[in-house]
Amino acid sequence: MTATKANNIKLLALDIDGTITEEDQTIDINTILALQKLKHNHPSTAVSLVSGNTLPVMVGIRNTIGVGDILFAENGGVMMSYLERSPSNLDCLEKNNLLTLSRGTIIKRANILRFFDRVLPEEELKKIKERHDVHEFFTNKWRETSLSIEIDRAIVPDIMANAGDAEVQDSGYAIHIMNPGQNKGFALTTMMNFLNITEKEILACGDGGNDLDMFRVAAYSGTPNNASKEAKNHATYVSSKNNGRGLVDILSHYELL
């Protein structure tokens, strides 16, 4: 696909693990500098970090790299906005019936919205533990809408096949147990309505299976070379470089640097 002009991109949605971070989960200084340069040169482009990780972890990453207008944690479960328009004003979401997708009451606190709860993920994890040995991530103590586990990859298909009403995704870093409708595509649709933009004004970057839902919403998408085969097949641009260097290459391809 021909590169779109930078002034057409109103939302840049970035996965963190494997896209911003290196293989050892550190962040290269050149990646940080490129993201800060992008924000300086294109202040009207909202940059969102969209991850399966928890909100506290994402706030720390956002404050370290100096970029992140909107944080969408837990694969679309929790949203935090640093923009002047606080999401506590839900008119833009209510008119598009996005709030009806929640299993329960939307939880609002300051500039944070929680769209789902943990009831179904906890029920699903209990069933999984009856069949398999699993290791829970210690960050589950901070999760509000999902749960994440490590497990033998050979039995992941069994877990997904027997997930029932829960949505189970493999990001390559963890197995995420979530609510139906909870995914990164939901995150992008929510932000699209919140910012009053279209899919043609979104660039999504990611590397794993849980990023496919973003790619299905955004008109433009990119993956670093370390991405899964499935992610590469769905992206509109695949970099020849890995991790953060791949992200910088993607941003250059779409004329944001």
Return d(Cα 238, Cα 91) in angstroms, integer. Answer: 37
pLDDT of res. 194: 87
Q: pLDDT per residue over 21-34, tens digit each?
A: 999 999 999 999 99
pLDDT at 28 (0 to 100): 97
Q: Right CATH number for 119-178 from 3.40.50.10800, 3.30.70.100, 3.30.1370.60, 3.90.1070.10?
A: 3.90.1070.10
Decide if 15 is catalytic: yes
Q: Domain map of the chain by residue range? A: 6-115+182-253, 119-178
Catalytic residue among 15, 117, 170, 207: 15
Residue 21: per-residue pLDDT: 97
pTM of the entire predicted model:
0.88
User: Do 226 and 18 contact (CB within 8 A), yes or no?
Assistant: yes
Q: Of all residues in the chain, what percent carry a pLDDT higher than 90? A: 69
Q: What is the pLDDT of residues 35-71, one digit of tens each?
A: 999 999 999 999 999 999 999 999 999 999 999 999 9
- In 3D, which of 206, 231, 257 has the Cα closest to residue 16? 206
Would the CATH topology of 6-115+182-253 be identical to that of 119-178? no
Output the pLDDT for position 83.
85
* CA atoms of 235 and 224, how far apart (whole Å): 10
Query: Which residue from 148, 172, 170 is spatially nearest to 19, judged by alpha carbons?
Result: 172
Residue 96 confidence (pLDDT)? 47
- More confident: 108 or 232: 232
Residue 172: the pLDDT is: 80
Top-tier CATH class for 6-115+182-253: alpha beta
Mean pLDDT of all residues in 118-136: 92
Average pLDDT along the chain: 88
